[in-house]
Every structure is written in C-alpha cells, then in structure tokens.
C-alpha cells in the first residue's frame, strides 16, 4: 500500500501554489481488518521525504531491509544505517510504503 501525503497546494482561484510543511504523524504498522473483507496488518518499509520548496528540492528515502529489519537512509550515492528506525512524526514525509505482513 502506498500512501501519498499532500505536500503541495494549488488554488486556481487566486493562483496560489505552495509547499505544505505541516507535521504529519504516522504509524509503523496498522490493521485494516475493519475496513476490508481480507484481514491484514500492514507494516511500514519505506518513506520518501521531500526537502526544499515548491520551486525545487531534494528527495531522500528511508528503507527497511527485509532480511535484517534494519533501517537505512538513502541519499543519492550514500546509504547510512538509522539505528532507531525512522521518525514517525515528519514535516517532510511525502510517500509511505506499507506491505501486508499477516492475514490474521
């Protein structure tokens, strides 16, 4: 499941285009059993961040290694371990990637 967080605003009425920098809190996992016929827990495995303005910026990602469950910050040509995992409150998170981890 991919969740897209609205980070850019455009109003045709007054030609206003800007970046939304509000903090957003998200979960490392959640259960959608009450919202769908198939039961399942979803676990976070990737985050894309946008840093900058509406006119330009930089994208980085945080990714979870499925074999070790360790998190890494991926920024252009560098990959750095994140010891405590991702920060679950962010003003830069743009895309959240979840996978269905169980059918319970």
Q: Which of 88, 24, 21, 84 has its CA nearest to residue 51?
A: 21
Distance CA 13, CA 37 (A): 41
pLDDT digits (tens, 9 = 90+) for 60-89: 999 999 999 999 999 999 999 998 889 999
Quote the pTM value.
Answer: 0.81
CA dihedral 88, 83, 102, 94 (to 10 degrees): 40
Boundaries of every domain in the chain: 2-102
Give every CB contact of residue 71 below 8 A, 6+ residues apart in sequence. 62, 63, 64, 65, 81, 82, 85, 86
In the structure encoding, which two tokens stand for residue 38, read together?
């198939």
Distance CA 62, CA 72 (A): 5
pLDDT digits (tens, 9 = 90+) for 26-52: 888 888 766 656 667 889 999 999 998
């Amino acid at each position: 499941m991919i969740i897209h967080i609205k980070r850019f605003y455009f109003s045709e009425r007054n030609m206003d285009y800007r970046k939304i920098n509000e903090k957003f809190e998200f979960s490392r996992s959640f259960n959608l059993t009450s919202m769908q016929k198939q039961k399942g827990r979803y676990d976070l495995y990737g985050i894309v961040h946008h840093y900058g303005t509406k006119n330009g910026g930089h994208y980085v990602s945080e990714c979870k290694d499925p074999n070790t469950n360790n998190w890494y910050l991926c920024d252009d040509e560098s990959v750095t371990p994140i010891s405590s995992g991702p920060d679950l409150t962010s003003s830069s998170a743009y895309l959240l990637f979840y996978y269905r981890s169980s059918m319970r």
